Amino acid sequence: MLQAKTVKEFSQYAAEQFLRTAVIVDDNIYERKRPISHTPSVIQVPGRKSSIKPQTETAFETIDILPEEDSVNEILWQETVVGFAKRHIVCSLYEPDKRDKYTVRSDVYKLCLASDMVIVDWSLHGDDGQKALELITNLVQNSLEDIPEQLRLILVYTSEPNLGATANNVFEELKGKLGDGIEPQTEDNGLSMHTSNSRIVILGKPTHLPRLEHYQSHEEAEKRLAERSIEEFSKLASGLLQGTVLLGLAKIRENSRKVLSKFDKSLDPAFLVHRAMSLPHEEACEHVHPLLVAEIQSILQDCLSGQIISNNVIKNWVSDLWNPKESARQLFGNDQNSKEFIEYFCLNGEKIKEKYHSNTFASSFVKKVVDRRGWKGSSSEDRENLRKLADLVEINSETNSSHKLAMLMSHRTFYGNDGKSLTLGTIIRKGTIDIPEYLLCLLPSCDTIRLSEKRRFVFCILNVMNQENSAKEKTSHIVEDNKIFKELLFSPNSYNCVTLEFEPSPETKKVIAEHDENNNLSFICKTDEQRYQWIAQLKPEHAQRAAEQFSRNLSRVGLTESEWLRLMSK
H/E segment holding residue 300: helix 288-303
247 pLDDT more than 90: yes
Strands 477-481 and 484-490: antiparallel
Q: Does residue 49 contact residue 118 with C-beta atoms inside 8 Å? A: no
Handedness of CA 11, 13, 18, 21 (dihedral sign): positive
Residue (of 508, 516, 497, 412) closest to 456 by Cα position: 497
Amino acid, res. 36: I
Q: Kindly report the average pLDDT of the chain as a whole number.
A: 86
* 393 and 526 both lie in a single domain: no
Please give the backbone phi and psi of residue 444, each rounded to the nearest 5 degrees, phi first.
Answer: -55, 145
* 536 and 498 both lie in a single domain: yes
Residue (of 126, 180, 182) closest to 154 by Cα position: 182
Rounded Cα distance, 29 and 94, in Å: 8
* 62 and 185 both lie in a single domain: yes
This prediction has a pTM of: 0.82
Residue (of 23, 182, 145) closest to 91 by Cα position: 23
Rounded Cα distance, 45 and 537, in Å: 57
Write down the pLDDT at residue 171: 93
Residue 254: pLDDT band (50, 70, 90) is: very high
Question: From the centroid of its chain, how far is CA 402?
Answer: 15
Residue 329: pLDDT band (50, 70, 90) is: confident
Write down the pLDDT at residue 67: 41
Q: What's the number of CA atoms in the CB half-sphere (13 Å) around residue 499?
A: 7
Residue 281: pLDDT band (50, 70, 90) is: low
Mean of pLDDT values over 158-167:
91
43 pLDDT more than 60: no
* 412 and 545 both lie in a single domain: yes
Rounded Cα distance, 479 and 410, in Å: 10
Mean of pLDDT values over 221-230:
93
* 422 and 372 both lie in a single domain: no
H/E segment holding residue 536: strand 531-537
Burial class (CB in 10 A: 0-12, 13-18, 19+), 312: middle
Rounded Cα distance, 28 and 32, in Å: 7
Handedness of CA 248, 249, 255, 259 (dihedral sign): positive
Domain-ending residue, one of 345, 369, 399 = 399
Handedness of CA 416, 422, 426, 429 (dihedral sign): positive
Assess if residue 273 is contained within a domain: no
H/E segment holding residue 43: strand 41-46
Contacts (Cβ under 8 Å, ≥6 apart) of 564:
none
H-only helix segments in 161-267 = 163-178, 225-234, 240-254, 256-261
Assess if residue 262 is contained within a domain: no
Please give the backbone phi and psi of residue 495, each rounded to the nearest 5 degrees, phi first.
Answer: -80, 0
Both ends of the chain: CA-CA distance in Å?
Answer: 52
Domain-ending residue, one of 240, 258, 282 = 240
* 421 and 381 both lie in a single domain: no
Residue (of 481, 489, 496) closest to 383 by Cα position: 489
Task: Give the single-character DSSP code of 421.
Answer: B
Q: What number of other Cβ atoms are within 10 A of residue 38's Cβ?
A: 12
* 393 and 420 both lie in a single domain: no
Question: From the centroid of its chain, how far is CA 387?
Answer: 24
Assess if residue 182 is contained within a domain: yes
* 98 and 150 both lie in a single domain: yes
Domain-ending residue, one of 201, 220, 240 = 240
Degrees to nearest 5, angle at CA 388 with 385 and 394: 155
Per residue in 336-388, pLDDT tens?
A: 889 999 999 999 999 998 888 776 778 888 988 998 888 988 888 888 899 98
Assess if residue 277 is contained within a domain: no
Handedness of CA 438, 442, 448, 454 (dihedral sign): negative
Q: What number of other Cβ atoms are within 10 A of residue 185's Cβ?
A: 16
Assess if residue 173 is contained within a domain: yes
Cα 32 to Cα 29, 91, 96: the distances in Å are: 8, 20, 15
Mean of pLDDT values over 271-300:
87
* 27 and 168 both lie in a single domain: yes
Mean of pLDDT values over 192-217:
87
Q: What's the number of CA atoms in the CB half-sphere (13 Å) around residue 70?
A: 9
Question: From the centroid of its chain, how far is CA 163?
Answer: 30
More confident residue, 183 or 209: 183
Q: What is the Rg, in whole angstroms, of the alpha carbon atoms belonging to the chain?
A: 30
H/E segment holding residue 543: helix 540-554
Per residue in 62-99, pLDDT tens?
A: 444 444 344 444 567 888 999 999 999 999 999 999 99
Domains held by the chain: number: 3
Question: From the centroid of its chain, how far is CA 497?
Answer: 36
Q: What number of other Cβ atoms are within 10 A of residue 540's Cβ?
A: 14
Per residue in 409-463, pLDDT tens?
A: 999 998 876 679 999 999 999 998 889 999 999 999 999 988 999 999 999 999 9
In percent, how much of the chain has pLDDT > 90? 56
Per residue in 517-555, pLDDT tens?
A: 888 899 999 999 899 999 999 999 999 999 999 999 988
Question: From the centroid of its chain, how far is CA 490?
Answer: 28
Cα 507 to Cα 464, 491, 512: the distances in Å are: 36, 35, 10
Task: Give the single-character DSSP code of 131.
Answer: H
Write down the pLDDT at residue 312: 95
* 395 and 425 both lie in a single domain: no
SS3 189: coil
Degrees to nearest 5, angle at CA 293 with 291 and 2: 135
Assess if residue 190 is contained within a domain: yes
Assess if residue 113 is contained within a domain: yes
Range of the domain at 378: 322-399
Write down the pLDDT at residue 121: 95
Residue 14: pLDDT band (50, 70, 90) is: very high
Residue (of 169, 163, 165, 153) closest to 218 by Cα position: 163
Rounded Cα distance, 518 and 521, in Å: 9
* 421 and 528 both lie in a single domain: yes
Which DSSP string do the residues of 139-156 spell out, in sequence order? HHHHHHHH-TT--EEEEE
Q: Does residue 149 contact residue 115 with C-beta atoms inside 8 Å? A: no
* 352 and 420 both lie in a single domain: no
Assess if residue 77 is contained within a domain: yes
